[in-house]
Amino acid sequence: MESYVEALRERILGERLLAVKLSSPFLLRTAEPPLREAEGRLVQEVRRLGKRVVLGLEGELFLAVHLMIAGRLHWVEAGGKKPGRTGSLLATFEFPRGTLLLTEAGTKRRAALHLVRGEGALAALDRGGLEPLDAGEATFAAVLTRENHTLKRALTDPRLFSGIGNAYSDEILHRARLSPVKLTSRLSAEEVHRLHEATRAVLGDWLARLRGERRGGFPEKVTAFREEFAVHGRYRLPCPDCGAPVQRIVHAENETNYCPRCQTGGQILSDRSLARLLKEDWPRTLDELENKPGFGSKAAAGQAGSRSDVAQRDR
């Protein structure tokens, strides 16, 4: 989101929004004010609100775009060619310098566009989560332990923390050497300190990395999977720190990836779907896992459930 915001500031700040065209009527989630009121107005600011990209227009109008899982933004310079296969086109935002495209992969339409009037109406879209890079340790700890959740759920809850998401929560927990299912109420002061430091380090490092990759261009290869990740999307591949095969817990359309040696003391966390299938054969420890044929082997890295699964979902 930060990469999108920075790239858009360079291209449309101070420019006039000439036209908004919807290809999918289900994208727009508001009826008042009408979308046509946004046309012809200057862009006075571009900011991030949680996981939304917000265009602040003159007259206190705000266009807020939530990409959800598979939504992507693309920029086409005036007179340039539209990119190739990028998913279904949902909307275009035309400016003098070029056109902003909103696309979404897959068949489910989850991306959302809101047009609201006034800061109060915009604030109603904010889930209220703490900006983790701006928070001191005491504030971070207070928010983290306000409710008793697993660490994975706490980090990805937009009411608690803003903009962390599924992928970076896995990386943060691996850096902090903490189990994704540990309850926030059971954290020691030292573990809270490690988690705060890991959150700032992982998010800061990746923000710097993505800025460096962009180099003034528009971010086109936005994905929840990165080859450089330690654990996210690396099921059955070796942990870069200890070499143990990365494991996962699948819930609905999300998955949690973790290293059993670095994060759970060698324990294999139960995955409901696989546990029901394997029953008594479900391995409970890393030693049991490594002694089972096919588990954690090099051959298993190419089987279903490997990084290709995540890459496919992100296309």
Q: Residue 307: its pLDDT value, please?
A: 43
pLDDT, position 312: 37
* Element spanning 249, H or E: strand 247-251
Say what the pLDDT of residue 81 is: 79
User: Length of the chain in residues, anyone?
Assistant: 315
Q: CATH 1.10.8.50 region(s) of the chain?
A: 132-214
Query: Are the C-beta atoms of residues 39 and 20 closer than 8 Å to each other?
Result: yes
**Distance in angstroms (rounded) separating the CA atoms of residues 77 and 51:** 25
pLDDT at 252: 65
Contacts of 93 (CB under 8 A, 6+ apart): 17, 19, 20, 55, 63, 99, 100, 102
- The Cα-based distances of 2 to 142, 186, 220 in angstroms read 25, 33, 13
pLDDT score at 2: 86
Strand partners, 177: none
| CB of 53 closer than 8 Å to CB of 8 | yes
- What is the token pair recorded at 152? 């994975």
Q: Where in the chain is the domain with CATH 3.20.190.10?
A: 2-123
Digit-by-digit pLDDT tens for the chain (315 residues) are 888 999 999 999 999 999 999 998 889 999 999 999 999 999 999 999 988 999 999 999 999 999 988 889 999 999 887 776 667 899 999 999 999 999 998 778 889 999 999 999 999 999 899 999 999 999 999 999 999 999 999 999 999 999 898 999 999 999 999 999 999 999 999 999 999 999 999 999 998 888 888 787 888 776 667 888 999 999 999 999 999 999 999 876 678 999 999 999 999 987 654 444 444 444 566 766 566 555 544 434 333 344 434 333 333
Query: 2-12 and 189-214 are packed helices; what angle lies between their axes, rounded to 10 degrees?
Result: 40
Question: In whole angstroms, what is the distance from residue 37 CA to residue 210 CA?
Answer: 34
Q: What is the pLDDT of residue 251?
A: 76
Q: State the CB neighbour count (10 A cutoff) for residue 21.
A: 12
CATH number of 132-214: 1.10.8.50
Q: Is the peptide bond before 33 cis (omega within 30 degrees of 0)?
A: yes
Q: Which CATH superfamily is domain 2-123 in?
A: MutM-like, N-terminal (3.20.190.10)
According to DSSP, residue 187 is labeled: -
CA 261 to chain CA mean position, Å = 25
pLDDT for the residue numbered 86: 66
pLDDT at 279: 44
What is residue 85's predicted lDDT score, i.e. its pLDDT?
63
| pLDDT of 25 | 84
Q: Are 44 and 56 in contact (CB under 8 A)?
A: yes
Q: Residue 283, Cα to own-chain centre: how many angstroms? A: 30
